[in-house]
């Protein structure tokens, strides 16, 4: 696996200035390849959320480089003008809670992203239905989020993260509210989707149930990342 995916070099993030400055990220180096699911593990306050926000183009890092799909998006400053479009088209998000839009049905929750990107409604809904089929929740296409089980909601959230075929997906504690069986099911789906859609997936977690499933793990402690080989257990 070479090229593409996401590569982070010497990323730093400092909050505040002077005596009150806090270095949330001191030196982050990461690379995640297309089709790969890696774990990002660290204790509370280690900088996980800050890193996720930097990778998600929600907050601006202080220094470093980020290369997404062979395009430098950050090099001691943003290199893309429209961060909103970057988030919409190139980064998928999966949250701890599914955070589906309550007033849209399952199909439109997923189709909304391609629609926002300017795709015709019919085409966007077609993409959404394809993903629902792949994730085995096609039969819930017309249901409202409140009518879904927790596992179904998380699958729909995964579909939403994948629908624009982003080169990278950031998953923030996606299995936290789930039991072991469902948590492992979600990880299996993420692995399948990563391979199928050639997407790099970073899973932020401290869920002991799923850590052994990663082939590569990045530990983060005091704002510094360390790479480690994972067990990569089949499940």
Partner 1 sequence: MISLAGRDIMHSWGKFVFTGAGLGLLIGVTLSMAGIYRGMVDDAKVLLDNSGADLWVVQKDTLGPYAEPSSIYDDTWRGIRGMPGVARTANVTYLTMQVRQGERDVRAMISGVTAGEPGTPGWPPYLVAGRQITRGHYEAVADVAAGFKLGERIGIRRNSYTVVGLTRRMVSSNGDPMVFIPLKDAQEAQFLKDNDAILQQRRRTAVNPAFNQPGVLDAVIASQSTNPYVNAVLVQVAFGHGAEEVAASIRRWKQLTVYTRGQMEEILVGKLIATSAKQIGMFLVILSIVSAAIVAFIIYTLTLGKIREIAVLKLIGTRNRTIAGLIMQQAVALGVIGFVVGKITATLVMAPIFPKYVLLEPLDSVKGFVAVVVICVISSIIAIRAALKVDPAEAIGG
Q: Which residues lie near partner 1 (CB under 8 A)?
A: 48-50, 52-53, 56, 58-59, 84-85, 87-89, 93, 95-96, 99, 101-104, 108, 111-113, 115-117, 121, 144, 160, 172
Residue with tokens 């990563």: 194
In whole angstroms, the minimum distance from the beta carbon of 144 to partner 1 comes to 7
Query: The tokens of 50 are what?
Result: 């800050």
Taking the least distance from each CB to partner 1, the nearer of 105 and 152 is: 105
Nearer to partner 1, 48 or 140 (CB): 48
Smallest gap from residue 8 Cβ to partner 1 (A): 17
Q: Rounded to whole angstroms, how far apart are CA atoms 83 and 81?
A: 6
Read off the tokens for 40: 């990002």
Contact 32, 201 (CB under 8 A): yes
The span from the CA of 86 to the CA of 169, in Å, is 12
DSSP state letter for 18: G
Query: CB of residue 112 vs partner 1: minimum separation in angstroms?
Result: 7
Asked if residue 199 lies in contact with residue 167, where contact means CB atoms within 8 angstroms, the answer is yes
Closer to partner 1 by Cβ: residue 218 or 230: 218
Q: Which is nearer to partner 1, 164 or 230 (CB)?
A: 164
41 phi/psi in degrees, rounded to 5: -125, 140
Q: Structure tokens of 67?
A: 């290369």
Tell the smallest beta-carbon distance from residue 3 to partner 1 (Å).
Answer: 25
The encoded tokens of residue 39 equal: 């774990």
Task: Indicate the residue among 24 and 185 with the shorter CB distance to partner 1.
Answer: 24
40: phi then psi, degrees, rounded to nearest 5: -120, 110
The two beta strands, 37-41 and 200-204, are: parallel
Report, in Å, the least distance between residue 23 CB and partner 1: 16
| Rg (the chain; Cα; Å) | 17
CB of 45 to partner 1, least distance (A): 10
Residue 137 or 204: the one with the smaller Cβ distance to partner 1 is 204
Instruction: Please report how close the Cβ of residue 104 comes to partner 1 at its closest, in angstroms.
Output: 6
Q: Are β-strands 216-221 and 37-41 bridged in parallel, bridged antiparallel, or unpaired?
A: parallel
User: Exposed, middle or buried: residue 142 (CB in 10 Å: 0-12, 13-18, 19+)?
Assistant: exposed
When the beta carbons of 111 and 131 are compared against partner 1, the nearer one is: 111
């Amino acid at each position: 696996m070479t090229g593409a995916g996401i590569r982070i070099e010497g990323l730093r993030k400092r909050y505040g200035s002077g005596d009150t400055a806090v270095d949330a990220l001191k030196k982050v180096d990461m690379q995640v390849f297309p089709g790969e699911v890696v774990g990002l593990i660290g204790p509370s306050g280690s900088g996980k959320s800050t890193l996720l926000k930097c990778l998600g183009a929600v907050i601006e890092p202080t220094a470093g480089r980020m290369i997404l799909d062979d395009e430098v998006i950050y090099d001691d400053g943003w290199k893309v003008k429209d961060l909103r479009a970057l988030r919409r088209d190139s980064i998928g998000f999966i949250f701890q809670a599914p955070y589906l839009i309550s007033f849209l049905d399952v199909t439109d929750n997923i189709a909304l992203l391609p629609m926002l990107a300017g795709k015709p409604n019919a085409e966007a809904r077609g993409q959404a239905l394809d993903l629902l089929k792949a994730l085995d929740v096609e039969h819930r296409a017309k249901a409202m989020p409140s009518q879904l089980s927790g596992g179904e909601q998380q699958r729909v959230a995964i579909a939403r993260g994948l629908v624009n075929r982003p080169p990278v997906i950031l998953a923030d504690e996606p299995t936290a509210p789930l039991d072991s069986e469902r948590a492992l099911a979600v990880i299996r789906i993420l692995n399948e989707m990563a391979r199928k859609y050639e997407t790099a997936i970073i899973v932020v977690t401290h869920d002991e149930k799923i850590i052994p499933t990663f082939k590569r793990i990045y530990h983060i402690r005091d704002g510094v990342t360390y790479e480690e080989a994972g067990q990569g257990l089949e499940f």
